[in-house]
Chains A and B, each alone.
Chain A
């Protein structure tokens, strides 16, 4: 409870937790075989109204949690598509595939096979497990935007540009790592690190572009989303209070994001002035 009070107190004025910081670990490492088969950076799933409707309904808890009806919408606006393409182009992620509401486990298996920047022992153990999970629990029904480092594929079901950017930032982060397999394992034990890196890169991308609306949206969505990870971790310290801690951090994220957005113009000017110096 003390922690929650601290977080809420911090949020009273709005505080930057996901401060803008670009991912600059080194050059993007892409397997030539993967580049060769990645003709289209974005692919769309065929609309299936009954399935997409079921997926939309399944996603209601997520919509409520992040307080955005576009979560798990299973349809995409041009804004999300254009923003994704812009990020892919800006960051040289030609080897990354974005599947927008698409179920393609066989094609992803080919990508797994050709993603030779990850050592085969990782690909054919953890990679197969991850792919199997995507095949058995199809995102087209249960939603859940995510990035699969073993296939270098971003799976999107939400029509929120900030979320698309966040998943692509994961792709950028993993693509610049030398030990992708180990970095993937680390995600299982301390995901807050990876989430922090990705969201901070998104903030930097938006601040550099001077995308005021994008920053407001990112504040509104990425902070509570980050709160889910922080809350899950902190809940482990007090399992009996895990739920209040979890929802407390999500609420703190909502509050903080909205308070930050009230000063977005000042922050934008400050950041861009710093860039000019």
Chain B
């Protein structure tokens, strides 16, 4: 089993090297339970935040836009098949232009479904034939909360202050079988940013230019099981703590009830990375640990198409992209301390915004 993967070593040899890292079934279950609790907590928090945002948005939407706007005649077919003009609230016909938000605060809650460039092909032998298993963490789910505050409602051709902050959390966990072995491949992403700058409205286009800081945490680990026994917690593990200074350009283009909201961020920073695992190409598989500092850059694109429910709420659908360079991954450190690589996330987001 797994001859290529394990080289000349037998399981007995592995066990003798790693005696302290073998846990009984109960510990494994407890660990999984804690991990599961974390996942559930994350999921619940995200679900709750987006749900609350949606509820508030829908409640606000149910209110008339503007009582002062005259009502509009609406034709209905009566029982005799003749059209009859009735009065109907104008809110859903007038299609007001929401190019300028009336409020200073806004909060967005979004679900994210992202793909990540993370895949490792393992070649192994099951005693009869060669097998290939692809470890990946390329379908990440999470949520993003984004909050903005303007010094005052933006006015035509005047630059006013704007502040923005967001938190993004996403993750993925997959299980793979290699003969009698099971592997858990876990990936985590957490990003927090805070920015300040200026916004302006010209030709009904709201643009913003912000500068700020961002923290990014990227981690992944491969855990090795045999049956229900955890052979190696963190067979290979990698984590990155990166801090960035960044610029962010944003724009909002509105047509009736629809708006395209896009932003582009770029920055540079320092990453403190940690990678640990086994030197599989050395006899006895000694454990390695690698700590590195590196200069890292980031690029982020967020683009959404929003449908305005009211002057205070919208729902939106869009795409999200994030690229972080010079980060360490478990993939590159599987058989020994590996090179730094890029972590790229790209996917869809759906959520709602509430202004207050």
> Is the pairing of A and B real?
yes
Would you give the shortest CB distance from A168 to chain B, in whole angstroms? 20
The answer to whether B159 has its CB under 8 Å from any CB of chain A is yes
- Is the CB–CB distance between B344 and A190 below 8 Å? no
Q: Write out the residue numbers on chain B whose beta carbons fall within 8 Å of the beta carbon of A234.
A: 264, 299, 301, 321
The answer to whether A186 has its CB under 8 Å from any CB of chain B is yes
Q: Write out the residue numbers on chain A whose beta carbons fall within 8 Å of the beta carbon of B297.
A: 189
A270 touches which one: B203, B205, B264, B321 (CB < 8 A)?
B203
- Is the CB–CB distance between A237 and B323 below 8 Å? yes
Q: Look across to chain B and name the residue whose beta carbon is closest to the beta carbon of A237.
A: B321
B299 touches which one: A3, A197, A236 (CB < 8 A)?
A236
Would you give the shortest CB distance from A7 to chain B, in whole angstroms? 8
- Is the CB–CB distance between B264 and A274 below 8 Å? no
Stretch of B80-88, B101-109, B135-143, B245-253 with 4 or more beta carbons under 8 angstroms from chain A: B245-253
Would you give the shortest CB distance from B322 to chain A, in whole angstroms? 7
- Is the CB–CB distance between B319 and A189 below 8 Å? no
A190 to B264, alpha carbons, bound, how many Å? Answer: 10
The answer to whether B157 has its CB under 8 Å from any CB of chain A is yes
- Is the CB–CB distance between A192 and B249 below 8 Å? yes
B202 touches which one: A19, A236, A238 (CB < 8 A)?
A19
Q: Write out the residue numbers on chain B whose beta carbons fall within 8 Å of the beta carbon of A6.
A: 260, 262, 303, 305, 318-319
A239 to B203, alpha carbons, bound, how many Å? Answer: 35
| Binary flags per residue of A247-277, CB closer than 8 Å to B gives 1, else 0 | 0000000000000000000010011001000
- Is the CB–CB distance between B253 and A10 below 8 Å? yes
Q: Write out the residue numbers on chain A whose beta carbons fall within 8 Å of the beta carbon of B348.
A: 2
Interface of A is mostly: helix
- Is the CB–CB distance between B247 and A19 below 8 Å? no
Q: Write out the residue numbers on chain A whose beta carbons fall within 8 Å of the beta carbon of B292.
A: none
Q: Write out the residue numbers on chain B whose beta carbons fall within 8 Å of the beta carbon of A267.
A: 203
A1-19 residues with Cβ-Cβ distance < 8 A to B are 2-3, 6, 9-10, 13, 15-17, 19
**What 9 A-B pairs have minimum CB-CB distances, sorted nearest first?**
A190-B266, A19-B202, A237-B321, A189-B268, A193-B247, A190-B247, A2-B319, A16-B203, A16-B205
Q: Write out the residue numbers on chain A whose beta carbons fall within 8 Å of the beta carbon of B319.
A: 2-3, 6
- Is the CB–CB distance between B246 and A190 below 8 Å? yes
Would you give the shortest CB distance from A100 to chain B, in whole angstroms? 31
Q: Write out the residue numbers on chain A whose beta carbons fall within 8 Å of the beta carbon of B46.
A: none
* Given A6-B303, A190-B246, residue A237 in contact with residue B205 (CB < 8 A): no
B229-262 residues with Cβ-Cβ distance < 8 A to A are 246-247, 249, 251, 253, 255, 260, 262
B residues with CB within 8 A of A: 156-157, 159, 200, 202-203, 205, 207, 209, 246-247, 249, 251, 253, 255, 260, 262, 264-268, 297, 299, 301, 303, 305, 318-319, 321-323, 344, 346, 348
Q: Give the interface size class of chain A.
A: 20 to 34
A196 touches which one: B209, B301, B318, B344 (CB < 8 A)?
B209
- Is the CB–CB distance between B305 and A19 below 8 Å? no
Q: Write out the residue numbers on chain B whose beta carbons fall within 8 Å of the beta carbon of A13.
A: 255
Q: Write out the residue numbers on chain B whose beta carbons fall within 8 Å of the beta carbon of A3.
A: 301, 303, 319, 321
- Is the CB–CB distance between B157 and A15 below 8 Å? no
- Is the CB–CB distance between B260 and A236 below 8 Å? no
A207-240 residues with Cβ-Cβ distance < 8 A to B are 230, 233-234, 236-239
Q: Write out the residue numbers on chain A whose beta carbons fall within 8 Å of the beta carbon of B260.
A: 6, 9-10
9 contacts between A and B (CB under 8 A): A3-B301, A3-B321, A6-B262, A21-B159, A189-B267, A192-B266, A196-B249, A233-B301, A271-B202
Q: Write out the residue numbers on chain B whose beta carbons fall within 8 Å of the beta carbon of A239.
A: 344
A190 to B205, alpha carbons, bound, how many Å? Answer: 22
Q: Write out the residue numbers on chain A whose beta carbons fall within 8 Å of the beta carbon of B318.
A: 2, 6
Q: Write out the residue numbers on chain A whose beta carbons fall within 8 Å of the beta carbon of B321.
A: 3, 234, 237-238
Would you give the shortest CB distance from A118 to chain B, in whole angstroms? 20
The answer to whether A143 has its CB under 8 Å from any CB of chain B is no
Would you give the shortest CB distance from B112 to chain A, in whole angstroms? 14
* Given A190-B266, A193-B209, A238-B344, residue A19 in contact with residue B200 (CB < 8 A): yes
- Is the CB–CB distance between B323 and A236 below 8 Å? yes
The answer to whether A20 has its CB under 8 Å from any CB of chain B is yes
A186 to B255, alpha carbons, bound, how many Å? Answer: 34
- Is the CB–CB distance between A190 and B301 below 8 Å? no
- Is the CB–CB distance between A15 and B205 below 8 Å? yes
Best-surrounded residue of A3, A186, A193, A274 (most CB of chain B within 10 A): A193
Q: Write out the residue numbers on chain A whose beta carbons fall within 8 Å of the beta carbon of B299.
A: 233-234, 236-237
A205 to B244, alpha carbons, bound, how many Å? Answer: 34
Would you give the shortest CB distance from A230 to chain B, in whole angstroms? 7
B156 touches which one: A17, A197, A274 (CB < 8 A)?
A274
A267 to B37, alpha carbons, bound, how many Å? Answer: 56
Q: Write out the residue numbers on chain B whose beta carbons fall within 8 Å of the beta carbon of A236.
A: 299, 323
In the complex, besides A6-B260, A233-B266, 4 extra interface pairs with C-beta distance below 8 angstroms are: A2-B303, A15-B253, A189-B266, A192-B249
Q: Look across to chain A and name the residue whose beta carbon is closest to the beta carbon of B206.
A: A19
- Is the CB–CB distance between A21 and B344 below 8 Å? no
A16 to B301, alpha carbons, bound, how many Å? Answer: 19
Q: Write out the residue numbers on chain A whose beta carbons fall within 8 Å of the beta carbon of B202.
A: 16, 19-21, 271
Q: Write out the residue numbers on chain B whose beta carbons fall within 8 Å of the beta carbon of A10.
A: 253, 260
Best-surrounded residue of B157, B265, B305, B321 (most CB of chain A within 10 A): B157
Q: Write out the residue numbers on chain B whose beta carbons fall within 8 Å of the beta carbon of A233.
A: 264, 266, 299, 301
Q: Look across to chain A and name the residue whose beta carbon is closest to the beta carbon of B297.
A: A189
Would you give the shortest CB distance from A170 to chain B, in whole angstroms? 16
B205 touches which one: A19, A196, A238 (CB < 8 A)?
A19
Q: Write out the residue numbers on chain B whose beta carbons fall within 8 Å of the beta carbon of A2.
A: 303, 318-319, 348
A20 to B318, alpha carbons, bound, how many Å? Answer: 27
A197 to B197, alpha carbons, bound, how many Å? Answer: 13
A193 touches which one: B249, B251, B262 (CB < 8 A)?
B249
- Is the CB–CB distance between A186 and B247 below 8 Å? yes
